[in-house]
Amino acid sequence: MDLSPKPTTLVPLAALSIEREGRQRRELRIESLMDSIARNGVLVPIIVHYDIESDSLRLVAGERRVATCQALDLEGRARVHPPGLIPAVYTSDLSPTELQIIELEENIKRLDLPWQDIVRGVGKIHGLYRARDPQWTISQTGDAISLSQPTVSIYMTVFEFMGDERVATSGTVREAYNLLLKRKARSDGDALEELLHSTRAGQSEGTLGEPSDELTLEELLEGPSAPIEPPLQLPLPTFDLSPIICADFVQWARSYDGRRFSLIHCDFPYGVGLFSSNGLRSGANRSQMGRDEGEAYEDSPELFARLLEVLCDSLPRLLAISGHIMFWLDARSTSIEQTKRVFAERAPHVSWTRFPLIWLKSDNAGIAASPQYEPRHIYETCLLGSVGDRPIIRIKSDAYACPTDKALHPSTKPESMLRHFMEMLVDEESSVFDPTCGSGAALRAAESLGAKRVLGLEIDPRMAELALRELNASRAKRKAAELMGF
């Protein structure tokens, strides 16, 4: 039989060679095509390649149409085209671009194809159409490959970031797309925060460091209502840029007017009388903590209340226009209710998740306030708040189990636990502040996740020195691992 190339023609099904290994299609669903081809015939010809040496035909595109015609013939059902034949176009009649588009389109419609390959295929197809016609649109690509415009838009958005490991390893294309949406929302918030900071810094010149009035978003977008006088060239105050500052948060917060933070991690003394009845600290690791035997460590309800009020009142200067708060506190329902009530009164713009974060102490460490009537309390609670509708980076469980770690501080939160929760909130664009950082565990956890800026306050000079030393050691270990390729 003469199988030499011709324009669109009918070719015998029996003459077609299908390279199953190369096509990698494990399953063909033809039910939806059966009635259509039986009534109307094959509306879109298959694509075949003619091999002169073997005088044979290799199927390039249209396997479902071939399988449908074979099934109809096997069932003896009438169809428009004669049994045993199917309309085909030869590859020699197509341009290289047309052939590549057809092959890509056939490939992305495989039922077993990973979503990553589908996205890359759609991206390549759109690029080929754009190369032929710079005015070509995503909607036209959707029409050409029988996908909706919104679907192609999602694919093209994800396609641009397929070099990003987190995007490429997402479970589904929708998960990857949602990740990019969250990133954009966080990036937009960070960009606006940078603009707000620049504007505040410009307006504060000549004030000798006195905090300027808070600039609202509406004022920023509308612009000034009157010309601004040139600022006086007076010196501005400087702040210690060390990641650990020995300072009292209550005093420090009143004068801070620097860049704001995307995450504030608060682990204030709970005000529950953690130490002995005479106010002296007990435990086996005093010397490592840089404190002397019997030295007091304030943990009164009054201190907790004062720190909480200062935090709420200082939030406009500390927390970015789009940011998060992690706030550890005593797990008693009364403590949680009272804390939320203070926030509602003094910082009503903070919204809280329905459920707190829970650290379960897997070593069973804890206190039984009434051993004869109550169980030992072995978990701690953290409220998770946000402002500016800032999305999380990734979903994590709201509970984490690990043992306590008192090697550096009696109330240290383990880095592994902090890292688990901070993975929702911290990435390479994050800036993190801890007003009572203790041994600096939260700062180390944040930096291990790529935070570009961390700052911690610690009132005890020896503890501040220890925290800085541990932070620098952590940085050195990460740098060494990076140099060794780990």
More confident residue, 420 or 215: 420
**Alpha-carbon gap, residue 64 to 195, rounded angstroms:** 55
Mean pLDDT for 166-179 is 87
What does the pLDDT read at residue 6? 55
For helices 63-75 and 31-40, give the axis angle rounded to 10 degrees: 70
CATH of 239-483, one of 3.40.228.10, 3.40.640.10, 3.30.70.20, 3.40.50.150: 3.40.50.150
Binned at pLDDT 50, 70 and 90, residue 361 comes out as very high
Give percent of the chain above pLDDT 70.
78
What residue spans in the chain does CATH classification 3.40.50.150 cover?
239-483
Q: What single-letter DSSP state applies at residue 237?
A: P
More confident residue, 276 or 443: 443
CB contact set of 464 (below 8 Å; sequence gap of 6+): 244, 245, 246, 458
What does the pLDDT read at residue 74? 87
Q: In the block, which residue shows the tokens 């958005």? A: 157
Q: What single-letter DSSP state applies at residue 212?
A: P
pTM (2 d.p.): 0.58
**Tokens, residue 130:** 């754009």
What does the pLDDT read at residue 200? 58
Amino acid at 365: A
Most confident of 115-119, 334-338, 431-435: 431-435
Mean pLDDT for 106-125 is 80
> Contact at 8 Å (CB) between 437 and 443?
yes
Binned at pLDDT 50, 70 and 90, residue 106 comes out as low
What residue spans in the chain does CATH classification 3.90.1530.10 cover?
1-94
Mean pLDDT for 121-138 is 88
> Contact at 8 Å (CB) between 309 and 346?
yes
More confident residue, 4 or 283: 4
What does the pLDDT read at residue 190? 66
pLDDT tens for residues 15-26? 888 876 545 444
**Tokens, residue 32:** 């939806």
**Tokens, residue 46:** 């298959």
> Contact at 8 Å (CB) between 117 and 85?
no
pLDDT tens for residues 319-359? 998 999 999 998 777 789 999 999 999 999 999 999 999 99
Residue 418 has pLDDT above 50, yes or no: yes
Torsion region of 438: left, alpha or beta (phi above 0 gives left; psi -120 to 50 gives alpha): left
From residue 312, give the alpha-carbon distance in Å to each of 137, 244, 308, 348: 50, 22, 6, 9
- Tell me the pLDDT of the chain averaged across its residues: 79
Catalogue the E-assigned strands of 125-204. none
**Tokens, residue 378:** 């072995």
pLDDT tens for residues 206-227? 433 333 444 343 443 344 443 3
Mean pLDDT for 227-241 is 36
Residue 205 has pLDDT above 60, yes or no: no
Query: What is the second-level CATH architecture of the domain 1-94?
Result: Alpha-Beta Complex (3.90)
pLDDT tens for residues 63-98? 888 888 998 888 888 788 888 898 888 888 777 777
What does the pLDDT read at residue 274? 53
What does the pLDDT read at residue 228? 35
